[in-house]
Amino acid sequence: MLRKAEQTGHLDGIAVYTQNLLKQIPALGVSSTRYAFLSEQGDAGCTSLGRFSYQAVASAVTGCPLFRSAHIEQNADLFHATDHYIPKLAKVPVVATIMDPISLAHPEWVAGRGRGLKNALFKKTAHWADHIITISDYAAEAIQEHFAVPASRISVTPLGVDENCFKRVSEEQKLAVLSRYNLPSNYFVFIGTLQPRKNIERLLDAFLQLPEQLQQQHPLVIVGREGWSSEALVKRLRGLALSRKVFWLDYVPFEDKYALLQASLAMVFPSLYEGFGLPVLEAFASNTPVISSNLTSLPEVAADAAILINPYVVDDIAQAMEAVAQDEALRQGLQQKGAERVKQFSWEMTAQKTMQIYKTLA
C-alpha cells in the first residue's frame, strides 16, 4: 500500500501508518527491509515479492508457504505485514496489522467485484499471522468476532498524529491556501474519502437544514477524493457548488490540509464506521473543535473532547453544528479538551508498543 501510495501521491491511512512506523523504529534499534507485493519489479528501496493474490490462493489451496519465503527467511528475523497482505511463511514469525474488519462486518460498504473471494482469503490469511496488531479496542473486539482470532493473539497500538498538525499556520499562509482553493474562512470541514460509510449525504442534509444566514456565514467544505460508489454524491456536490455554500476540494496535499483545518470553524466527522478515526486527532492537534459520530471506535478516540452525535439522525448533526457555530464558549471548551486529549497519542508511542510485540515474537 505504501509503495502504491508513494507512486500516486495519495497516502491513505494504511500508508500513513506504515510510513510513520518506518520513520520511528530505527531509533528503537530495529533495522528494516521493505518488501512489496507488486506486479512489476521493485525499486532500490523496495523488494518485489510478486503478485499477492496468486500466491495467497496457492498457499490457501496447497498449504505451502509464500513462493519467496526462503528469500525473506534469509534476510529477516520477523515479517510485519502492515497492509492486509499477510503471507504464509515457514520459519519467520509474522505480525499482521489489521486496521478493521469492515469488509467482513459490512460488505455492503466495500467494492463488490470479487468480494466473496477476497473476504474468504482475508479470513484465511489472518490465521497465518502469529500475532495481530490493530488500532483500537473496538477493532480488536470486532476482529475476534469476524476472524475468530482469540484475544490473546491481538494487541492494540493506537495511531499517532503528524507533528505538522501541531504547528500553527500563520495567517498569511492560511489566506494563501484559502485563496488557492477560492474559499471563505470559518467554515465547517469534513476530511475523508467519498464513500458510503463516511455518511456525507446526511452531513449535506444536516448542513442544508441550518438557517440560511448560518450557511452563508459558515459554509461546508468537503476534502476528499472520489471513492467507491460515490458517483451520485459527486454529482450532488458539483450541483451544490453553484450555491457557494458547499465546496468540494477533492484530494489536497498534507500541508494544505493542516492549513484548512486551522482556518475552519469546526470539523464534522459523522462516519458510520471507523477502525480508529485519525482525522479526529488531526483536528484536535490543529486546535479545531470536533463534532464526531458516537459509533464504533470514535467515542474511544475522541472521549469527552468532541460533541458526539448519532450519525444516522440528521437533526442530531444539524443541532450540533448550530450549537458550535453560535456558542464561542463551547468552541473554546472543545479546543481545550482536544488539545489535552491528543497528548495521549503519538507515533513514537505506536512504535514503542509495536517494538514490544516484535520482542515477544523474534
Q: Looking at the predicted structure, is the pLDDT value of residue 10 above 70?
A: no
CB 207 within 8 A of CB 188: yes
Using CB atoms within 10 Å of the CB of residue 343, give its burial: 0 to 12 exposed, 13 to 18 middle, 19+ buried. exposed
Predicted confidence at residue 311, as pLDDT, reads 98
Q: How many domains are there within the chain?
A: 2
Cα(325)–Cα(187) distance, rounded to whole angstroms? 9
**What is the end-to-end Cα distance of the chain in Å, rounded?**
24
Predicted confidence at residue 42, as pLDDT, reads 52
Say yes or no: 179 and 276 in one domain.
Answer: yes
Say yes or no: 274 and 288 in one domain.
Answer: yes
Residue 185: closest CA among 265, 250, 279: 265
* Chain centroid to CA 235: 25
Q: Looking at the predicted structure, is the pLDDT value of residue 268 above 50?
A: yes
Residue 216: count of CB within 10 angstroms of its CB: 13
Model's pTM, two decimal places? Answer: 0.91
Say yes or no: 237 and 333 in one domain.
Answer: yes
Q: How far is CA 132 from each of CA 6, 155, 188, rounded to the nearest angstrom? A: 25, 6, 37
CATH code (residue 95) = 3.40.50.2000
Nine-digit cell at 95?
A: 505480525
Q: Looking at the predicted structure, is the pLDDT value of residue 40 above 60?
A: no
What region does 274 belong to: left with phi over 0, alpha with psi -120 to 50, or beta? beta
Say yes or no: 151 and 171 in one domain.
Answer: no
Say yes or no: 12 and 149 in one domain.
Answer: yes
Residue 292's pLDDT band, with cuts at 50, 70 and 90, is very high
Residue 57's pLDDT band, with cuts at 50, 70 and 90, is confident
Say yes or no: 201 and 315 in one domain.
Answer: yes
The larger pLDDT score, comparing residue 67 to residue 351, is at 351
Say yes or no: 120 and 140 in one domain.
Answer: yes
Say yes or no: 27 and 76 in one domain.
Answer: yes
Predicted confidence at residue 41, as pLDDT, reads 54
Residue type, 203: L
Give me the mean pLDDT over the 273-281 stretch: 97
Say yes or no: 31 and 17 in one domain.
Answer: yes
DSSP 305: S
Q: Looking at the predicted structure, is the pLDDT value of residue 80 above 50?
A: yes
The larger pLDDT score, comparing residue 43 to residue 170, is at 170
Give me the mean pLDDT over the 18-24 stretch: 95
Predicted confidence at residue 5, as pLDDT, reads 52
Say yes or no: 195 and 299 in one domain.
Answer: yes
Say yes or no: 64 and 93 in one domain.
Answer: yes
How would you label 86-117 residue by residue, b for 16+ Cβ within 10 Å and e otherwise?
bbbbeebbbbbbbbbbbbbeeeebbeeeeeee
| pLDDT tens digits along 314-340 | 999 999 999 999 999 999 999 999 999
Say yes or no: 149 and 187 in one domain.
Answer: no
Domain span at 265? 163-344
DSSP 35: E
